[in-house]
Amino acid sequence: MKALLALEDGRYFECRSFTGQGEATGEVVFNTSMTGYQEILTDPSYRGQMVTMTYPLVGNYGVNLEDIESNRIQVAAFLIKEYQSRPSNFRATATLADYLKSQGILGIEQLDTRALTRHIRNSGAMRAIVSTVDMDPASLVERANRIPTMAGQDLTPNVTTDTAYYWSNGRPEFLKKEILLDRSVWRQRGRKRSVLVFDFGIKYNILRCLESQGFEVLVVPSATGAGTVNAMSPDGIFLSNGPGDPEPVSDAISTIRQLLGFRPMFGICLGHQLLGLALGAKTFKLKFGHRGANQPVKNLLTGRIEITSQNHGFAVDLDSIRDHDVEITHINLNDNTLEGFRHLTYPVFAVQYHPEASPGPHDARYLFDRFKDLMDKQ
């Protein structure tokens, strides 16, 4: 079915839908990973975005019930060069097209993804609309310019959990609100270390990594206040990834600031940005973001280079860090942006990339060990 993708700056691309009729809007971004499209589709950090893959052949291994990072597809639309309709993989339970159609997500192929990626690379990520209904370029461009920008939006309420839950044996166990503050519930479960996870749009594999460390993992809504956390008295606090601009997430920033020094704290991606803001730094929007499984990062503490998986459009401004107790630990080697820091007084640290990435490099899995070491020292 013929389709048309139009960007806010007037550029448009002819393409086809492999999921039937429909329309989608959002910010267009690109991902350079060669595999992992199901993980990308279900990553809550992509909420409000249409993702194009730079690797041309997509769908060849189908989809399954295991390689998901949340309970639904999060992207607004999926834009690829060539769709493979006959998957060949022993784990496959459905085709990519069937998976997208089951959740009403538009899948687009026969798109010049190379040209689109180069355009975004030169001009920056931008708002766009893709449609099989409205095929008038001028109309679509005008409509694209009416789409709200990512900057200034707090998207965490759209992806956070409504109810607190334990992550146990690879799945959630939801809690009744009246027992949320019952600290004895954690003791009855018999684990030595308890981690309270702020869900700003968390990926399941982060929870898998925390559980693999032997932690008792409790996930709470993003709006959970400092008083509740103090009452629960966990052994550690984790700040998750998530979508959108970090600066409007003001309540969470205030909560994090109140919790500094209370317990060891570890932040990833949006959690990294929120922790930076809580420590007085500023954030800014990257031109086209970092999205892919091949981002080189230098660990300034060891001198080693880590190949990392990333997905973010905002970053902490390195020059805005004024706290002398904040030590820069990681730098992106492509553009010298901040990738990690730690505090020399408070037991807190954060990284911008995803050490839990799967599929993807595992160079940074040691960070979960570091989090455990901080709790042991407490």
| 269: annotated active-site residue | yes
| 362: annotated active-site residue | no
Stretch 339-353: mean pLDDT: 98
pLDDT at 350 over 60: yes
pLDDT at 132 over 60: yes
Stretch 51-57: mean pLDDT: 97
Q: What percent of the chain has pLDDT over 90?
A: 89
pLDDT at 50 over 60: yes
pLDDT at 312 over 80: yes
HEC assignment per residue over 188-223: HHCCCEEEEEEECCCCHHHHHHHHHCCEEEEEEECC
Give residue 220's pLDDT.
95
| Nearest-angstrom CA–CA distance, 39 and 35 | 9
- Reported as a pLDDT band with limits 50, 70 and 90, residue 175 is confident
pLDDT at 365 over 60: yes
| Nearest-angstrom CA–CA distance, 241 and 42 | 13
Give residue 72's pLDDT.
97
Tell me what the pLDDT averaged over the chain comes to: 94
Among the ranges given (79-93, 117-131, 161-175), the one the predictor scored with the smallest mean pLDDT = 161-175
Give residue 152's pLDDT.
92
Give residue 97's pLDDT.
98
Structural domains in the chain, sorted by start: 2-144 (3.50.30.20), 156-377 (3.40.50.880)
| 15: annotated active-site residue | no
- Reported as a pLDDT band with limits 50, 70 and 90, residue 172 is confident
**Residues 6 or more apart from 152 whose CB is under 8 A from it?**
245, 247, 248
- Reported as a pLDDT band with limits 50, 70 and 90, residue 181 is low
Stretch 6-13: mean pLDDT: 98
**Which is catalytic among the residues 272, 290, 330, 354?**
354
The per-residue pLDDT for range 161-171, each reduced to its tens digit, is: 999 999 988 88
- Say how far residue 278 (Cα) sits from the centre of its chain: 20
pLDDT at 353 over 70: yes
- Reported as a pLDDT band with limits 50, 70 and 90, residue 357 is confident
**Omega cis (within 30) before 359:** yes
**Which is catalytic among the residues 8, 211, 269, 272?**
269
Stretch 87-104: mean pLDDT: 97
The per-residue pLDDT for range 278-294, each reduced to its tens digit, is: 999 999 999 999 999 99
The per-residue pLDDT for range 216-229, each reduced to its tens digit, is: 999 999 999 999 99
The secondary element (H helix, E strand) that includes residue 196 is strand 193-199
Whole-prediction pTM value?
0.95
User: 377 — phi, psi (to 5°)?
Assistant: -70, -25
Q: What percent of the chain has pLDDT over 70?
A: 95
**Which is catalytic among the residues 8, 39, 306, 356?**
356
